[in-house]
Amino acid sequence: MEMYDYVIVGAGSAGCVLARRLSERKSNRVLMLEAGPTSDEFWVNTPAGMAKLFFHKTLNWNYLTEPMPTLRDRRMYWPRGRGLGGSSSINGMVYIRGHRNDFDHWESLGNQGWGFDRVLPYFKRMEHNARGEDRFRGVGGPLWISDPVVKHPSSHDFIAAAMASGIPYTEDLNGAEHDAVGFIQHNIRAGRRHSAYSAYVAPVVSRSNLSIRTGCHVQRVKFDGRDAVGVEVIEGGERRVIYASREVIVSAGALNSPHLLMLSGIGPLGELQRHQIPVVMELPGVGRNLQDHFYVHCSFEATRGSSYNQDLRGLRKYWQGIRYLTTHTGYLALGSSQVAAFIKSRPDEPYGDLQISFRPMSFTYHHNGYVEVEPTPAVAASVYQVRPASTGTVTLKSANPNDAPAFTPNYLTATADVQAMIAGIRKIREIMSREPMASRIIREKIPGANVQTDEQLLAFMEQDGSCAFHPAGTCKMGSDLHAVVDERLRVRGVSRLRVIDASIMPRVTAGNTNAPTMMIGEKGADMILEDAVPPRASMKRSIESNFEERSRTVITS
């Protein structure tokens, strides 16, 4: 019988943080399980390689939503990381915490200790910011936060044009002023992606009390009554149970965590009965409250010096490759976007509800998985609503753990969401029409100058709108009838089981979600250590007899 004190399901942005922090206490035996493979590959480590990972066959779950009636019955592609580092190994590396009001709102719902002033120390603890330390920034933490190695002239001009349109400037989008325009920082260290795994786990992988398994697909959480005792896994084609003497921690992400809970008998009663899953605990909120940032992409043909498209095509791309290999600088060392602006879609919004991002290049995703930089000079800007009113669900297609769940995001079902997104597209156009950007723009390519009325813009969104890949909220924290975990991230109604990842967000944060997910891992780890749930006596004896004094960390694939 194989046993550990803590079994972590998922080696993503939160799971890696938990593995590092829990194993800092030498008496804890910690196991982190990951369904995907190792992820130490060239295009994972190269920041610009995210385009190569968008449809990756092994490092990506390659999910699809259900057909969406509000988007002309389209099925939308949802990439999610599958491998060490999770989505932090395939994302755009944007480091944005969110607005302080996001966290104060969480606390106002009864989640004590989750207000901004209480979570700020965790953000600072995890950071090593290249700009140095101040009231809001941290240094000395595992995760490197850096500025773009190339700040393109078009990016400076976009900021100037945004300011001309009435948006204030900030030196730090994670500082005192969130509703502003400024350069984005990224999880990049010395020109290489700094994923949650490379930041938190790789430096401590030799710890004798930390084990990591890849290629290990967790099928369900095992219970003794309502006590979580371990997990059932498929590893190397064999099915077995791995036991946790203290706690099982589900950190599989906002899509896979509710899936695993339901497979384990925790969820809406009707959903469990429909698939003949024995009920451990009825929790109607599991898989509900799905939130994501609906995303619209706009592009503009630009003057030659306004875009670096030409530097990533033809012979020039080889020069960029050589430059990156020899210096880890240049355009291949950049994150997904250079500039962000947070604005209000209407004056009565309490704080910015739109995020506009800018990049001085453009590309096309083809259905066959090929990502192509556009052949002519162009720049791109995108917008999404950061606090959507529309929410969706994650439900089961079957009781087979190998069948992906059903994702129904319900984008644009709320009129307020439609109105906000239309305002965002119009704001992008206004910025592009202001100097100094106006002199760089030749014409609008997407959605195109012929798309002007609200009805036309809605039709464009229905046909071409996508997602920002920020799912959250499906195992929300709170005390209401649909809350899945309490303020200490313990699953309600059962013991020795927690969910710690983006799924616990009561409301998705204003911005990219990787940074707050890692913060949740930091705070969650402290809660686990503070609570120090005692090991079951019978399991403690088995652990002592089944483990050598020092065990070697094993990474298998």
Alpha-carbon span 197 to 13, nearest angstrom: 8
Cα four-point dihedral sign 327, 330, 334, 338: positive
Is 7 labelled as part of a ligand binding site? Answer: no
Give which of 42, 75, 36 is closest to 59, Cα–Cα.
Answer: 36
Alpha-carbon span 8 to 232, nearest angstrom: 13
59: which 2 tokens? 């490092």
Pairing of strands 30-33, 2-9: parallel
Residue pair 142/204 in contact (Cβ under 8 Å)? The answer is no
DSSP string computed for 143-192? EEEB--S---HHHHHHHHHHHHTTPPB-S-TTSS--SSEEEPPBSEETTE
Q: How far apart are the first and last CA of the chain?
A: 21
Is 373 labelled as part of a ligand binding site? Answer: no
Is 91 labelled as part of a ligand binding site? Answer: yes
The verdict on whether 482 is a catalytic residue reads no
Helix, strand and coil content of the chain, in percent to the nearest 5, comes to: 30, 25, 45
SS3 217: strand
Alpha-carbon span 446 to 374, nearest angstrom: 13
Is 394 labelled as part of a ligand binding site? Answer: no
Active-site residue (options: 152, 367, 470, 482):
470
- DSSP letter for 49, please: G
Is 62 labelled as part of a ligand binding site? Answer: no
162: which 2 tokens? 């945004």
Residue pair 97/123 in contact (Cβ under 8 Å)? The answer is yes
What phi-psi label fits residue 115: left (phi over 0), alpha (psi between -120 and 50 degrees) or beta? beta
> What residues act catalytically?
470
Binding site feature residues: 91-94, 218
Binding site feature residues for FAD: 91-94, 218
